[in-house]
Amino acid sequence: MRARRRRGQLPPEPRLVVHPMQKWIVLLSTVTFLYPAYREAKRSGWLPDAGPSLPFPATGSVTVARGIERKDATSKLRVSTADANAVVQLFERASDRHVISVYVRRDDHAEVPVPPGTYRMRIIEGDKWHGRGRFFGPSTTYETVVKPMTFTATTSNGIDLHRRPGGKLHTRVNLTDPPALD
């Protein structure tokens, strides 16, 4: 059969030609699956972390900005965590001033008082605690909630950090490390 093909009696074998863009499509498709898997492995402590760790604060512990009075905190923030420790931070929308940070251990929940207002929320998660400057070291993941969070004197607000397909908490991944708490 090959001899007949060489003599021109049969049509040439079809050749598979790969379009250059197909390689990019495959690469980008792979990245869209691998990056979330990498972030989950990082958050869960699967990546090596040789640095010394500190005890993570007790669930419900808070860091509050100067000038915030306890009597002003008439609303509530509820936080439920999954398989990572979390620091949930609220910032004033206009000035980007830190208002409160709530510490919640893995597979736990907390409810803390917060002052009424509309805030930007940041979520920092990880495995081994390295302190307020480095947070969780190499296992730190950092996201910003897309919609502002509103708290009133009569209503509370909360988040559930159990990842679900089609979940209601829409976040934007931050590729940089979170700024250290003062």
pLDDT in tens, 24-45: 888 888 888 888 888 888 888 8
Report which of 167, 171, 75, 63 is spatially closest to residue 123, judged by C-alpha positions. Answer: 171
| Structural tokens at position 151 | 């708290």
Is 5 domain-assigned? Answer: no
Angle at 96 between CA 91 and CA 100, to 5 degrees: 25
User: Residue 107 is part of a domain; what is its CATH number?
Assistant: 2.60.40.1120
Is 2 domain-assigned? Answer: no
Decide: residue 55, CB within 10 A, 0-12 exposed, 13-18 middle, 19+ buried. exposed
Task: Tell me which of 154 and 106 has the higher pLDDT.
Answer: 106
d(CA 100, CA 47): 29
Is 4 domain-assigned? Answer: no
pLDDT in tens, 61-88: 999 998 888 888 899 999 999 999 999 9
| Structural tokens at position 130 | 């390295």
Amino acid making up residue 138: P
Is 177 domain-assigned? Answer: yes
Contacts of 78 (CB under 8 A, 6+ apart): 109, 110, 111, 156, 157, 158, 159
Q: How many domains does the chain have?
A: 1
Is 137 domain-assigned? Answer: yes
Is 7 domain-assigned? Answer: no
pLDDT in tens, 94-146: 999 999 999 999 999 999 999 999 999 999 999 999 999 999 999 999 999 99
Is 128 domain-assigned? Answer: yes
Domain limits for position 118: 18-182
